[in-house]
Amino acid sequence: MARLYEMSNDIDSEDILKYREEVTEEEKERMMKNFKAEKKHSANKGKRAGRIVGFAAAAAAAVLVIVPNTSAKAAYAMSQIPILGDVIKAVTIREYNYESERFQADIKEVQLEVDQSGEEENPNMDQSVATINEDIDEMTDRLIKRFEEQAEAGESYGGIYMDHEVVTNTDKWFTLKLNVTEVAGSGVQYQYYYHIDKTTGEIAALKDLFKEGADYVTPISENIKKQMRERMAADENLCYWLEENTEIGAFFEKIKDDQNFYLNEEGQLVICFDEYEVAPGYMGLVEFTIEDDAVSDILK
């Protein structure tokens, strides 16, 4: 069975790291200090804010973040509606912690639980939850293994952080966002999103927000390019990899069919890009709220 996170992010974080700019030993040490300070701060606070600000600030050497994502489109943008249907809970079932002078790990594995009591049971829901749980478990094992190999080698500095957040849990829709930050020679920050359409019990993707057979990739991509140009014109410090201004040999042409997304509180579609996906590392994670008129005629 294909891993969901490989569907969401075509390039594995280990591959991504190979292409990140190298940072100095001084910068790596500073990143680890920030990592430890953030962990101490969040322990006192009771929970993390969802991303490690210190890592991102340290020479844009990002951290790997896995966080739950938001809701889904027009008919599903009902964040304030009480949960009347199947109840899905996200429960932390495993914590992996490691701390030394040069290495730091704080990984929390989440699993979903579903309560279909009082409703006609939907076998699709159970299968969707089981598939997501298997995917998260495989991902967690892989991240821990990679970190332990780095720590055993004892070279340079290394750190990893992983946590989750339930962004949407209504009677119609459920979204889990995973945040991951990883440092190993260089750094990377990225996210994963899992959506369940409670009306069908099935795992949902970006295409499920649109009419059958509709070309949603083109209008969304063109709207993003428009926003990129507008942002760069308004702020010279911003940089996006468009064909006409990039020097790296790659540029943003269009979103992936299964691009990461969520719906904001207004029910608008927000497209999410990992660090380095469409912009230099100092830009961090990048998001674009798609203008309503760009997709209104193809939404379900």
Neighbours of 188 (CB within 10 A): 27
Which of 138, 69, 65 has its CA nearest to residue 106? 65
Query: What letter does residue 71 receive in the DSSP assignment?
Result: B
CATH number of 4-204: 3.30.565.40
Residues in the chain: 300
Q: What is the DSSP letter of 243?
A: T
Select from 105, 89, 108 the least CA-distant residue to 97.
Answer: 105
Which residue, among 141, 159, 157, 67, has the nearest Cα to 105 in the 3D structure? 159
pLDDT for residue 168: 81
Q: Which tokens sit at 133? A: 């749980």
The confidence score (pLDDT) of residue 233 equals: 95
pLDDT (0 to 100) of residue 189? 84
Do the domains at 4-204 and 217-295 have one common CATH topology?
no
Pairing of strands 158-169, 103-115: parallel
- Does the structural domain 217-295 have CATH classification 3.90.640.20? yes
Specify the pLDDT at position 11: 39
- The per-residue pLDDT for range 144-159, each reduced to its tens digit, is 999 999 899 887 888 9
The backbone torsions φ and ψ at residue 212, rounded to the nearest 5 degrees and listed phi first, read -55, 125
Q: E strands of 170-285, at which residues?
A: 173-184, 186-197, 202-204, 261-263, 269-273
Domain boundaries, the chain: 4-204, 217-295
- Write out the two tokens for 293: 């008129």
Q: Which residues touch 9 (CB under 8 Å, ≥6 apart)?
A: 190, 192, 260, 274
Mean pLDDT split into 10-residue runs, the chain, 300 residues: 40 43 51 52 39 32 33 37 66 94 94 79 90 96 93 87 88 90 81 92 94 96 97 95 71 91 85 91 92 94
pLDDT tens digits, 67-125: 333 333 433 343 333 444 578 999 999 999 999 988 999 999 999 999 876 557 788 99
Looking at residue 128, its pLDDT comes to: 96
